[in-house]
Amino acid sequence: MSVKVCNLIGGAWKDAGTGEMFERRNPADVQEVVARVTLSGREDVDCAVEAARNAFPGWRLMPAPKRGELLFRAGEILLRRKDVMGQMVTREMGKVLPEGMGDVQEAIDMAFYMAGEGRRLCGETVPSELPDKDCKSVREPHGVMALITPWNFPTAIPAWKIFPALICGNTVVLKPSSCTPACAAMLVEALVEAGIPPGVVNLIHGPGEDVGEYLATHPEVDAVSFTGSCAAGERLESKLGRIHRPVATEMGGKNAIIIMDDADLSLALEGVLWGGFGTSGQRCTAASRVVVHERIHDQFLDRLLGAAGRLRLGDGLSKSTDVGPVVNEQQMKRVLDYLRVGVDEGASLALGGKRAEDGALARGYFIEPTVFDDVAPAMRIAQEEIFGPVVSVIRCSGIEEAIAIANDVRFGLSSSIYSKNVNTTAMAERDLRTGLVYINASTIGAEIQLPFGGWKHSGSGHPEAGGRGGALEFYSRMKVIYRDFSGKLQKAQID
């Protein structure tokens, strides 16, 4: 059964002015229409931005703990709807149901966490160098924020952006991926039901190249947060840089798991399967490279091929499925192209390597879990983000070489090391150049109470999620206030 998905503008759910619709189909079975969605044009964006602009003065002045209460209520609504929303995640983008539920759980966690931030939103008070004068910094919202989100975490990523934006006092216009409009609508619905005032959260649907860019560069938008492809993110950064608009981007990854010769190989194997093939490899934190010590290479590869070969492809709603489809035909073609590139570059195709089309799988976009062996660190399959169920195995002779290989890519989001030697893991912890480092755990599984963000070309360096240096740093800006109660002109640095 398909749902109809509208825009939300100024508190009203409505069809776009274009009168046009588009469909979202289930990537596990393209015969199933999951959502029929209103297709926005530029006028709809104008209306959404205007609604957010009008709602801003009132929302900004609502005490932050009160804003927090509304977020808390939204969290409770999401918790009650976790099952239904988790199923929608699976039907709209394909990940297996436990992961779909995890996606929603991450949104719930973020709602409760950011609700609590309403009673902190800390600035600083510091002594003045002059008598009868005090100094403090306070957090202020930007104003209207444009939030552009991808399909791979269709509930979690919009939540990572909406909740910190709201608690800081911004109003928002969300433009989710056209692959996951219903998930975004369900998230926004929870906020509406929690009592968020009209216009504080607005939702529009439409293609990124047109509607998304028009929104991000709109003259009435004050700041932009984007998660998605490198191409789109870099284009936005350069456009917004020219108009001095704050922008946070989270883009690609080429994350490595290092497995040393003293590692617990069973644990490492589970980590590679989870990191490489979970969400069909469609995570920016996916473990797409495995750097294995040469002494255990053959033994580990054998076990990896056995275990990955047993993973069952299928509809993510079925309990027996380990790996779901990739999100759409375009993505499937992109991944299949990379599989050809790997073979042409001279890597050994050790497992998988093609579309899976047996029986019901032919109705979806399934790709066999794929393992390349004998991968050289400079090959394209070891350098570029593939975003599919593809793992490249690279040999190394020791920890220094392993770290050098892991670091030698343009991305720097996540990395992991498996070893029982505390000195080895400490060296990795110190020298891996990524925003996230996992020890004896896979490259995925970031928790929301610490910053999440990549180094180098993985993003703009404004992390999301919580903790010191997390999302609040970007979703608010600091205002510094000096109050002089001496009754005379005092000159800093001079008196």
Any idea which residues carry the catalytic annotation? 250, 284
Classify residue 262 as exposed, middle or buried by CB count within 10 Å of its CB (0-12, 13-18, 19+).
Answer: middle
Look up residue 193 and give its two tokens.
């039901």
In whole angstroms, how close is the CB of 413 to ligand UN1 at the nearest point? 8
- Return the H-helix or E-strand segment holding 250: strand 247-250
In whole angstroms, how close is the CB of 368 to ligand UN1 at the nearest point? 22
DSSP 345: H
In whole angstroms, how close is the CB of 174 to ligand UN1 at the nearest point? 17
How far apart are alpha carbons 12 and 90 in whole angstroms?
A: 27
Where does 81-118 have alpha helices with state H?
A: 82-93, 97-117
Residues that bind ligand UN1 (CB under 6 A): 106, 152-153, 283-285, 444-446
- Return the H-helix or E-strand segment holding 428: helix 422-431
Closest to ligand UN1 by CB, 96 vs 356, is: 96
How far apart are alpha carbons 89 and 477 in whole angstroms?
A: 33
- Side chain identity at residue 38, one-letter code: T
Cα–Cα–Cα angle for 433, 287, 165, nearest 5°? 70
In whole angstroms, how close is the CB of 153 to ligand UN1 at the nearest point? 5
How far apart are alpha carbons 145 and 243 in whole angstroms?
A: 15
How far apart are alpha carbons 369 and 346 in whole angstroms?
A: 19
Comparing CA positions, the residue from 268, 331, 337 lying closest to residue 304 is 268
Closest to ligand UN1 by CB, 285 vs 425, is: 285
Closest to ligand UN1 by CB, 199 vs 281, is: 281
In whole angstroms, how close is the CB of 421 to ligand UN1 at the nearest point? 26
Closest to ligand UN1 by CB, 153 vs 418, is: 153
Closest to ligand UN1 by CB, 283 vs 355, is: 283
